[in-house]
Structure formats: C-alpha cells, structure tokens
Amino acid sequence: MKTLSRLTLCAVLTLTSCSVAFSAGMSDVSGKALYQTGKKADYLAGYHGKALGADCAVCHPSQSVSDSEREIDANCQKCHGTYQQLGQKDKSNGKSISAHQGHLSISSCTTCHKGHEESFAYCNNCHIFNMPMKFGRAKVPYAPEDLSFYRNAIPNREETADIVIVGGGGAGMVAAIELQKAGKKVVLLEKMPILGGSSLLATGGMNVVGSKPQKDSGVKDDVDTFVKDSLHLGKGKNDQDLIRILGTNSNDAYEWFESLGGQLELQKGKTGGTTNPRQLYTKSGGIGRYMVEMIEPALVKSGADVRVNSKVVRLVHDKAGQVTGVIVKGKNSGLYQINAKAVILATGSYANNGALVAKYNPQFEGIITTAQPGSHGDGIALASEVGAQVNHLERVQIHPNAAAGTTIMITQAIRNNGGILVNRSGKRFVDDQAARNKLGPEIL
C-alpha cells in the first residue's frame, strides 16, 4: 500500500503544483516572482519575465499544459519563427552547425528549450557538437526506467479508444494511418518529444523485391531468393514464415510509400548479404528522415490522436489475461489510463539499454551504441509482464561503421560504393561487403 499511496500522491502533486504555478502566474504576482530570483531566474521563464516583462500567458495560452506542448510551440514560433526559418537564419549568420537544420527535423521548440528547467541540445544525445545554449547544458541522458515500479500504479483518470499504438516510429505511424482509414479511433503514444524513433536514423535503404526500379534496371529477383539470403545471414535461426511475409509484402510497402509522394532509386551495387541489387535509397541522403518527412504529414491528416512525451508504463489486462488498455505517464498530465479494444506494441529495440545488451550478449558490454536515445526495450518489458512469448533477445546486431569515440553511424552505402575497412596499421583485414554478423566479430 505504501507504493500505491506514493504513486497516487505523486500524480496529484504534479497536477496541483502546475495549477498553482499557473494560477499565480495569471495573477501576475507570485508566478512572475517565482522566476525573478535564484536559480530559476536563469531559465527561459525568468529571462522572459526579467528582460521582456512578460507574464506566463505569453507562453501559456491556458492554465493547463498538454503533454505534447504544441500550444507552447505555437506561441514560441509566433515570436521566433518556425524551425525551418530559424535554420535559414543560422545559415545566413554563417553557422556551420545549426540545431535548426538537423536530420531529425525537430518541429517542437520544447524538445530543447525548457521554460522552467535547464534547456539542452537534443542533438548532443548522439553527437559531441560544441553547441552552447542559452539557459542550458549540453546533454540530458534519456535513461532506461524500471517499469515494474508502476506495477500497482493507480491512474488519475480514464479514457477510451478503439486502438492504442505504443511507439511513434515508422511502424507505429503507418499503423495509425491505416487504422484511421479503417474507421477506428486511434491513439498513438510516443515517449520521446519527437516522432520517428529509430526510423529517423536509417541512412541506408529499403530492401524491396520486384520493385519498379529493379525491373527498369533489368534486375531479376524473387521472394525465394530474398528468403534464402535472409536465412543465410541469420544462420538458419530466423523465422522463415516471417521472412517470407516481409519479402512478399515489400513491394506493396514501397508502393504505399509512393502513394504519399515518395520516390526511391535502386542502389547499383549489391548490399551486404544480398544476391541481387534490391536496396532502394534516396539521393537526398538519410532514407529514414526522408520517409518520416513523407509519413508524418499523412499521419496528421489521418486524424489520429498523436501524443508525444507520453510514456506507456504498464499494460492493463483482465482476469483472463486479455490486454484491455494501457497506463500512460504524461509529461505534464501524470498517470492516466486508456481503455482499448486492442493495443499494438511498436516500440522498437533495446539497443540503447546497456544493461540489457550486456545481459543478452555479454561480449558487447560497454559498447557504444548508435541507436536513438529512447531505445530502451520498454515494449519487451511491457509484453513480458503480461506473459508474452519473447524470442531472440540474444541476437544483438553490431553495425560495423561508426565514427570512433562517437555515437555517429556511417552508412553502409559508403562500402557499397567503394569504401574499404582497414585496421590501425592501414591494412585490409576482411571482405568489405560481408554481412554485419561477420564484420562485427572481425572488427572486435
């Protein structure tokens, strides 16, 4: 009962303290005074109050703050301009590195800029840029959280939906679009402040069997070859039925992307482990960013209820074990429950959870990851808690190309187009086009 009481109290205190602060701010007395002196005077709210004489309403259109904080973003952009406009301004001012021209296309100001706490450059969760920020520090790590802490958590409210999708990467976004088309009431939940997940970081290409670019180039390919290649790479331990589904539906997936206005070209050479050229790519660089930039507007247009800064901490189930909803920890709204007819987990990997990497594959303990900051394996933990069967967790893939001492990945296309791997003596030591499960051990 102590745990229950503490969790419930936390949720209530979070909401109450916010309300008090905003109410005071609207009265134009204690709210402003709170950020005039001491450490809080160094935050953005203090600067707006002291230097500009602004009250809380300048940033906050109402006394409550949504978890996605889009209403605050809108007010930021009224004064400062959009993400794209700020990027152009940085370029005009001669900045070689601009946080407003990054490959993540962050459209939310509050992703980096915080009004009531230290700000931080989201880019530096992966990079090591010298990117000083006003009112901030360089990096705030997104650490994995033990979700068992919420096992007995009591939500402060409930709502309903047809489908809840957990994870706002490529898979979750596409699922939300299609389910909305099917007439379902969909809520998409993403714990990070931006959409895209690991998809945003994809820099290589999309393997497609029987695509128009393949046919136009005279490449003969088929699903059986796709399956054979995949089984060879997986040393026969992968699920052959799932591989066949992936290969069979790959061209439909690409044509779906084309229907959004996307267009990819065939990589001329064979990519690691493939019999035939089948990887499609974009000349703009960064296929993941390109695809997300096409998919996200379609998601918005679909009418799905999309919420970032919204972390699912528990799956709700009935006595029979049927999953009936989720418990969400909203950044500003606290703990709440969504009851649903179905829950889709699209949460991705655990590649940025060092403890799990070391647990399932000890040889990689302490290795630097190029994964996105939120890849903590939350979906695995959530599903396991309600009895889901979990397979192949020991199959950790190591990407062979990363800039030494950083978390920056260098795309495989470098090797496809003539790049070579050498050791510290400058000597080649491995087939540059070998599969990753051969290259990784050879490099180690």
Alpha-carbon span 123 to 99, nearest angstrom? 7
- Are residues 346 and 274 part of one domain? no
- Are residues 19 and 153 part of one domain? no
Residue 15: both structure tokens together: 């909401």
Answer whether residue 76 is part of any domain: yes
- Are residues 127 and 27 part of one domain? yes
- Are residues 306 and 293 part of one domain? no
- Are residues 370 and 433 part of one domain? no
The range of the structural domain enclosing residue 6 comes to: 2-137
* Residues labelled catalytic: 436
Answer whether residue 405 is part of any domain: no
- Are residues 103 and 11 part of one domain? yes
Residue 38 Cα distances to 43, 119, 407, angstroms? 10, 17, 36
CATH code of 104's domain: 1.10.1130.10
- Are residues 307 and 159 part of one domain? yes
- Are residues 310 and 163 part of one domain? yes
Residue 286 Cα distances to 89, 204, 259, 291, angstroms? 23, 7, 20, 9
Answer whether residue 48 is part of any domain: yes
Answer whether residue 436 is part of any domain: yes
Helix (H, G, I), strand (E, B) or coil at 222: coil
Answer whether residue 179 is part of any domain: yes
Answer whether residue 392 is part of any domain: no
- Are residues 171 and 128 part of one domain? no
Are 136 and 121 in contact by the 8 Å Cβ rule? The answer is yes
- Select from 270, 297, 324 the last residue of a domain: 297
CATH code of 312's domain: 3.50.50.60
- Select from 137, 161, 183 the last residue of a domain: 137
- Are residues 194 and 338 part of one domain? yes
Answer whether residue 403 is part of any domain: no
Residue 7 has what pLDDT? 30
- Are residues 89 and 7 part of one domain? yes
- Select from 250, 267, 297 the last residue of a domain: 297
Structural domain total, the chain: 4
| Number of Cβ atoms within 10 Å of the Cβ of 76 | 19
Residue 249 has what pLDDT? 98
Residue 26 has what pLDDT? 42
Give the amino acid at 211.
S
**Which residues lie below 8 Å from residue 272, measured CB to CB, with a gap of 6+?**
412, 415, 416, 433, 434, 435, 436, 439
For 254, left (φ over 0), alpha (ψ -120 to 50), or beta? alpha
Alpha-carbon span 409 to 220, nearest angstrom? 31
The pLDDT profile of the chain, 444 residues, written as one tens digit per residue, is: 333 333 322 322 222 223 323 333 444 445 566 767 776 777 888 888 877 788 888 888 888 899 999 999 999 999 899 888 998 998 899 887 787 877 776 778 999 888 888 888 888 887 777 777 777 665 666 889 999 999 999 999 999 999 999 999 999 999 999 999 999 999 999 999 999 999 998 888 999 999 999 999 999 999 999 999 999 988 899 999 999 999 999 999 999 999 999 999 998 877 778 899 999 999 887 899 999 999 999 999 999 999 999 999 999 999 999 999 999 999 999 999 999 999 999 999 999 999 999 999 898 888 888 889 999 999 999 999 999 999 889 888 777 887 777 777 787 778 878 889 999 999 999 998 887 778 888 888
- Are residues 31 and 107 part of one domain? yes
Answer whether residue 397 is part of any domain: no
